[in-house]
A and B are shown apart, each in its own frame.
Chain A
């Protein structure tokens, strides 16, 4: 490869990265708007409705507010770790998007071990939380970090097991191939044969992103705001961005692995990227719905659900899946390995 060719590849890759990151940031901004509107509707309120038509400019106003606020660094904090903690929580949330296939051909990096890569990167997000809690040198922040670390470790196991089921049925670690293995109609998608794993995966995803009803890491009635209590302005906004980017990530992964990605549910309408976005939006609605519906779990109940309910359920269902693959029950289970 010549120098110019290499340079062109670099520029082209950066352009493609920008084509993913910029819409992602916009989605995060409007997800906060959607959240306030949806919760408003559920609680029979209007939600944001003053800035712009129907409050549509509210996220932009929020961004400006956060940008102009002062970033405070507490006196006895560990300065370096305090500053890099938000970056450490944001970077994996964005980097994981590299392997997400948006449609049959639209994927930044079509790597073989895509699913493993996503799992590895989502497991790194916890460092931002732990380091933030420790570096703040505050009891509330520290308690939040401890809670978050224990919770994420617990639910990651259930999540990983759920994904093992997907890999077994899909016969590949490549996210694009997993979607292609679901071709057919609505009932060929993996949500049906892997229904318990789908439920476990999605609830673990909610727990992993520290969203209500699993948001004990923030728990504003108990530990003020948890790990980000000492952060303000842009540093706080980065944590916020990471949380919402992770939510979209979990929803997109659920769509790819259980709901057929870009595949169309109706036979005569063609497949396409639109279906991917529509399904992701549908899954995101559940995050908002959960938040408006359920009271916060007590901490020991969270641990019980993760260790004593989800992990046994996934292990039992993995055995069922393995037996079904050996019996080659059509149309879902077949020996697909190379």
Chain B
């Protein structure tokens, strides 16, 4: 009888723990600050007066291992603000690491050198190239290269906003 009651308690506890699992699995956003190098600045769209209404800024995360390129497009105010920057500048950026409904983490650039940017969920022009390339060797000879797109421990340890899983 005691054994049966204990078994029931164990089963109920296991069921309760299973139901509570999703609570522990919630995906919280986190903000980071990083140093980047500006590698390209260009106007993507201009109005009839020649004023830039949309600008692209290409960034390289210089403190992160591998090749990480981020092309960020911003609107009117952002475009006017980033005009003060030039290619080769090393500046601070604010990032938000968040859960993407597609089933992985991603991050948005919220601010470049004091220029705030509001990410637009319909923006299809901004993109990231996050990869680590190394020589591909056969019989000891380098015959090409391989670039990995998956999470790498070394990268995510140094720059946690690149963590996807």
A and B are interacting partners: no
Chain A contacts to B: CB under 8 angstroms:
none
